[in-house]
Amino acid sequence: MYKRLSAVLFPIVTLLLIGSMVWGYQENQEKNAILIKAENQYQRAFHDLSFHVDKLHGELGNTLALHSASTGSQRKGLVNVWRITSEAQNEINQLPLTLLPFNKTEELLSRISKFSYQTAVRDLTKQPLSENEVKNLKELYKNSAEISKDLQGVQDKVINDRLRWMDVETALAAENDQENSIIDGFKTVDKKVGEYPELDWGPSIASIYNKRSVKKLGDTPTTIEDIKKKAAQFVGSKDSAAIEVVENGKGTEWASYTAKVKTKKNGESVSLDYTRNGGHLISYNKDRQIGKKAVSYADAKKRAEEFLQNKGYPDLTAVFYDEFGDIGNFTFVSKSGEILIYPEKISLRVALDDGEVTGMQATDYVYEHESGEAAKVTKTKPKLTLEQAKKYLNSDYKMDYSRLAIIENEMSEKVLTYEFGGKINGSEYRIFINADSGAEETVEEIKSAKSPTAS
């Protein structure tokens, strides 16, 4: 009996053993193929990065060698600097450097990219390179030479010692202090970049990297009890003592409060975020199940407007709307007289089952409204009339409406514009024409089926 059983089981077990070995071999081959592919991608990105940084150094030198009156060639050189820098940034993003301190170098490349782009797009015949900008280019030319030399040193080690980027990824994931020539090389580059003298990039570039903080609001800090009262008033609760408040980022300039309110309906909860300075509401979220859509766009808009009015946000106008499933999203902006203020915006999320506002994001509104920068622009009068501004539109553009609006342009400046809404080439567009110069500040395609601006 046992012989008969073994005679049956032995070939079965043998087949299973052979099958598992074949499967294991195939799995190992697939794994190795994936590792080889990842290694090749890392190697390509690294060598391309070294090439583009060297190319950046050369292009900066070419631009500096031009005569100050050769504005056309200067623009071409700066466009090339922007293009090459963008390539280098893209290659850094392809490398496993998320756990490696390389942020100083990434930030320098980002600033070079912004600086070269903003300088290239302006009219250099009317606004040529300033002495400070030329000085910056000279400093960047010298710095890029050092960065290129150090990266080429790492590149030589990678080639000569046949170093693998997969080992870098493993070492970074393990968070150990084992030596790795690639990691050490990148740390050296970033340390040197951090020691470079700070350049004066000008107000437009500085404003991009000028991070918002609650300290800049200038108001006095609020207490937890104040936040409880504000939250209770916002949600219409009489029991502020039951509201839980926690402080976020304590001791930092980004400190804020989060208030959590439990509702009596099906265990639903509401969370509200407030700035520590001044106690300004920056976000509101109600967590609940949303049923099938039963509310029209017009009703949803009416409910959103009523919500803002009741919560103390008057003079706001809906400028954008889209739907995602059973949720409607509105964007409202401030209005001063007949001028829309786009930087001061509030986003609302409306549940389309009953029209209830279940979310609000007001960060931009709080910081821009409190700073008052846009409000200063509303006091200026446009140099161009509406009819004069229309002449700067494409002759094929079919205009539906026009109005004055303040936007933030590519130079991070608040500018007064004429906003035109209309159609061209079968699509809807918003075109913003500078109310002083007639320049097209920005063009936006309106992809939403519902656009409050059209009404």
Question: What does each C-alpha distance from 30 to 21, 24, 34, 37 come to in angstroms?
Answer: 14, 10, 6, 11
Host H or E run for residue 273: strand 269-275
* Mean pLDDT score, 390-396: 93
pLDDT tens profile 55-112: 999 999 999 998 888 888 998 999 999 999 999 888 888 887 765 667 788 888 888 8
Closest CA to 139 of 198, 207, 73: 198
User: How does residue 114 score in pLDDT terms, banded at 50, 70 and 90?
Assistant: confident
Q: Are 418 and 435 in contact (CB under 8 A)?
A: yes
Confidence label for 389 from pLDDT (cuts 50, 70 and 90) = very high
pLDDT of residue 311: 94
Alpha carbons within 13 angstroms on the beta-carbon side of residue 431 total 22
- Domains defined along the chain, listed by start: 2-207 (no CATH), 216-375 (3.30.310), 377-454 (3.10.450.40)
Beta strands in 10-92 (DSSP E): none
What is the predicted pLDDT for the residue at 455?
Answer: 40
The more confidently predicted of residues 133 and 163 is 133
Torsion angles phi and psi, residue 122, rounded to 5 = -85, 165
CA 96 to CA 305: how far, in whole Å?
Answer: 47
Structural contact between residues 312 and 233, judged by C-beta atoms closer than 8 angstroms: no
Residues contacting 152, CB < 8 A, separation 6+: 50, 54
* Closest to 141 (Cα-Cα) out of 133, 152, 131, 153: 133
